[in-house]
Amino acid sequence: MSSNEFYNELKDVETSRESRLKYANMVLNDMSLLPKLIDIMFRIDDKVSYRAAWVFEFVCENYIYAIVPYLDTFCNNIKNIHLDSAVRSIAKVCYFIAQEYDSKQPNTLKKMLKPKHREQIIEVCFDWLIGKQKIAAKAYAMDTVFLLGKNYPWVHPQLTQILEKDFQTQSAGYKVRARRILKKLKSHEL
């Protein structure tokens, strides 16, 4: 399938889980579509880009190792994502990466996720936390920074400061997640 044909296919992605999964399975069954999906996802001002991000989220949820050959591209470009629907999906992919990286089991992502990648993800997650992102993106960003920040002495104190500062002015959903992360941060200090 050509890039243009795939682009036109992605125009039909709907918000339903079934629709997103259908297109994710299309990619998972033909991995030659993955670089095309990533290219479309990073056309940041194109309305189809957020639909590509939705599909990418589902691809990574089902097979996180699909991202490994594209870590440089992903990490170098996530800071440019700005459409709310795309930010939420990208934040969730960052969380999937952080979870796999934090796993007790050896895995490919642990080997391939370089300090530069981790720092780029942490930086963009901090930007989402202090920016005007919606709660879902902020929630995934909190979790991601907590997990990836374990190896950086400056990260957890800064995360604590941001969460405590913003706590009173944020939504109930933010407060629930922030409270949980703050509790983990306190127990992690011990």
- Determine the 3-state secondary structure of 178 from DSSP: helix
pLDDT digits (tens, 9 = 90+) for 99-148: 999 999 999 999 999 999 999 999 999 999 999 899 999 999 999 999 99
Q: Tell whether the torsion through CA atoms of 19, 44, 144 and 31 is positive or negative.
A: positive
Q: What is the pTM of this model?
A: 0.94
pLDDT digits (tens, 9 = 90+) for 147-175: 999 989 999 999 999 999 877 777 788 88
Find the angle CA(183)-CA(164)-CA(142) to the nearest 5 degrees: 65
CA distance 49 to 37: 9
For residue 189, pLDDT beyond 80: no
Burial of residue 123 (number of CB atoms within 10 Å: 0-12, 13-18, 19+):
middle
**Once rounded to an integer, what is the mean pLDDT over residues 21-37?**
96
